[in-house]
Amino acid sequence: MIIKGKSRAGAAGLAKHLGNAETNERITLLETRGTVADDLRGALLEMEAYAAGSRCQKSLYHAAISPGLQYRLSPEQQREAFDTLEAELGLTGRSRVVVLHEKLGRQHFHMVWSRIDLGTMKSASDSHNYRKHEKAARDLERAFGHERVQGAHVERGGVKRPARTPSRSELRQEERTGIKSQRVRADVTAIFRASDSAASFAAALAERGYILAPGDRRDFVIVDHAGGIHSLARRIEDMKAEQLRQFMAPIDRSTLPDIERAREIAAQRSRETDELEQSKSQGRKERKYASGADYVSQTRAALKDHQKRQKQLDARADAIRMFDDESGKRKNNTSTRNDDSKPAKKPKRSRIQEMNAEFGKESATNEAKLKKLQDGSTERGADDPLSKAPGRDRTRGR
C-alpha cells in the first residue's frame, strides 16, 4: 500500500482534478463530513473558506491511498484506512471529503481535510508527513494482510533506501512531453560517469540535446528537447546536492540561459528537426521517382504516390460524410421530437442561391418586356429613356 499527500491551496482546481472523468473510468464521492455542502466542489470551497480567519495559506491537506493491484478494500476496510491515516496526521474530527477513483481495475482513494480547527482557528502541523504516511501504510498492511511495500522512512531494517518515485508534477510532465523521467535519469547518469570535468559534462549534455540552465530553487536543471524541466541532481543516480554543487563549481551560472530561454531554444531545435525530417522524406520520395531511367518508371512511381494520397483523402472524406450523416440523423430526431411544440423552419438558402433566384426573376421580367415591345402592344412611358431620344420619329417605318 502506498500513501502520498501534502498541504495545498486551490479548492477549485482540486475539485476539477478529483472530478476528472477523462482520466478515470469511475468516480464516486464516498463521503462529505463537517460541511453544509454535500457536493465535491461546494464542500472543498467551504473548507477553504475556513482559513479566511487565519494566516494559513495552504489550508487543505490532500492525501491518496493506493492499495496493491491485487487488493480491493471492503467498505469497513476503507473506513478503517481513512480513520487510521487521519489520526496519524493529527486531523481527527476535521472536515473531510473522500473520493474513489477506479481505472483499469485498480482503485485508489483521495481524501481532503481542512487543516483549520474552527475552535482555535489554528492549522494542524504538516511536519514529517512522509514518515506519517509510511507508518499508517505499514499498520494497514499488517491489519489487512497485504503484501508489505518497502518505504524510505520507517521500518527500514537495514535495507537500502529505495529509489525515489516520480512526483505528481513529474508524472503530468511525462504525459505532456512523452519523455519518461527514468529514461532521462539513465541517460544523464551515463553522461556524468563518462565525464571527467564540469565542462566536459556540460558539453556532453548539449551534444545529447539537453540544455543546462540555472534553477529557481535548485542549483542546476536541464531542459529536454520537448521542453520538460528536470532537476539535475535528481537525474543522476546516487548523487547528493552538495556533491553536485562542488562538481559543477567551475561552471559560471551567469553564462547559462534561464529556464524560459532554454525552453525557447528547445522549441526552436524541435522545429528545425521536424523541418529536416520533412526535407529528408521529400528527398526519399524524389529518389523513388527518379529510380527508373525511363519515363515509364517515373510515371509508375508518381502514380503509386498519387494513389496512396488519394486513399488518404477518400478515407478522410468518408469520415466527414459519416459524421455529417450522424449529425443529420440527430437533427431529424430533434425536429421530430419538436414537431408538436414548434413549426418546422424553412431551410435557409445560401447567398449564392438567393442571387441566382433574383437573377432568374429579373431575366424573366426583361424577356416579357422585350416580347411586348416586339409585338408593339406596349407604349413607352414618359420615364422610358428611348422615348426622350431626340431627332427620331417613333412612327416612321411602320
Each residue's pLDDT, cut to its tens digit, for the chain (398 residues) gives: 889 999 999 999 999 989 888 878 889 999 999 999 999 999 999 999 998 888 899 999 999 999 988 888 999 999 999 999 999 999 998 999 999 999 888 889 999 999 998 888 889 999 999 999 999 999 999 999 998 887 776 776 666 666 667 777 888 888 888 888 888 999 999 999 999 899 999 999 988 889 999 887 778 899 988 888 988 988 888 888 888 889 988 988 888 888 888 888 888 888 888 888 888 877 777 666 665 555 556 677 777 778 888 888 888 888 777 766 666 665 555 554 444 545 555 555 555 566 656 666 666 666 676 666 666 544 444 445 444 444 444 444 44
Residue 281 and residue 269 in contact, taking contact as beta carbons nearer than 8 Å: no
CA distances from 6 to 101, 115, 116, 130 (A): 19, 11, 15, 9
Compute how many other C-beta atoms are within 10 angstroms of the C-beta atom of residue 151: 20
> Running DSSP on this structure, what letter comes out for residue 248?
T
- Cell numbers describing residue 313: 483523402
Q: Containing H/E element for 5?
A: strand 2-8
pTM of the model: 0.54
- The C-alpha cell that represents 392 in the structure block: 427620331
Q: Which residues contact 77 (CB under 8 A, 6 or more apart)?
A: 144
Note whether 62 and 110 are within 8 A (CB). yes
Identify whether the C-beta of residue 136 lies closer than 8 Å to the C-beta of residue 88: yes
CATH, domain range 2-144: 3.30.930.30
Q: What are the Cα distances from residue 116, in Å, to 50, 98, 128, 201?
A: 7, 18, 18, 48
**CA angle (164 as vertex; 163, 169 as ends), nearest 5:** 155
Domain boundaries, the chain: 2-144, 168-263, 290-327
